[in-house]
Amino acid sequence: MNSFTPKSAVRQGRGSSTLAGVTHPELPDAAHIMRSQFTRIIHLLLLLVVIHQLIGSELMRRPFPGNPPAWPNSLHEYVGLGSFAVVTAFWVWTMLRRGETHLARLIPWFSIVRLQDVIADLAAQLRRVARGQTPDDADGAFASAIHGLGLLAVTMMAVTGSVFFFMHGTPVAHSMLSLHKTIANLVWAYLVVHAGLAVLHHLLGSDIFSRMFWIKAHRHPTARWRHHGSR
């Protein structure tokens, strides 16, 4: 069994999981998952529109009274409407897909059992760091919950921007714009940390990018597990 085996084919339990023939009692319900083509496409689209909106917002300038908005402002608004469609499609696909991260793992906050899994997985990752090892890059409970928070933040940014667009000039639009700017700062922080950790895992030998994008795996996915298991 390799680490690309679908989650349904991996013997799982809340306190242990088996990957590449090595038992990891500290990693609850975790497995490396190869993403479907549609998941990869929609994830890439979401990444591109988020990066565009964050960078584009730095180029925007408020127009003088009576003047039409400059093209960066208009482009930001229309791409923002497109991002609302992309993030909506992402949520719908998350509820429909099989063999990948479930919606309940992205939003575990309403289940005591899943919250316990998140806390246990976080504790396991902290123990790995304390031993000088890198945090695990599998789809554990903690990582899935953080991905869910990022997706929620992007969703709120798209929603507030869309409400501002359609209700421009109203008190509601003013409130939505303030909230939109605040959430954008959170998304900036999430994007930097999320991308930074992914690059770190890649440089340390993980094939994390090959599971989400069309990048050839540069080493056998079980090699890292054997290396860490031998410590």
Other CB atoms within a 10 A radius of the CB of residue 166 amount to 11
Q: Cα Rg for the chain, rounded, in angstroms? A: 20
Positive or negative, the CA dihedral 182, 187, 192, 193 is positive
Residue 33: φ, ψ to 5°: -125, 130
* CA gap 135, 22 in Å, rounded: 17
| Domains of the chain in sequence order | 7-60+68-225 (1.20.950)
Q: What is the pLDDT of residues 16-34, one digit of tens each?
A: 433 333 333 333 344 455 6
DSSP SS3 for 208: helix
- With residue 115 as reference, give the H or E element that holds it: helix 112-130
The encoded tokens of residue 62 equal 């408020």
Nearest Cα neighbor of 108 from 143, 69, 73 is 143
- For every residue of 2-71, DSSP letters joined together read -TTS-GGGS-B-SS-BEETTEE-TTSTT----PPPHHHHHHHHHHHHHHHHHHHHHTT--PPPTTSPPPH
pLDDT of res. 60: 76
Do the beta carbons of residue 142 and residue 125 sit within 8 Å?
yes
Residue with tokens 């939505």: 176
User: Considering the chain, what is the average pLDDT of its residues?
Assistant: 76
Check residues 11 and 210 and name the one with the higher pLDDT: 210
Number of helices and strands in the chain (H, E): 8, 2
Q: What is the pLDDT of residues 56-72, one digit of tens each?
A: 888 777 765 666 677 77
pLDDT of res. 211: 65
Q: DSSP state, 134?
A: P
The encoded tokens of residue 48 equal 């591109």
pLDDT of res. 139: 73
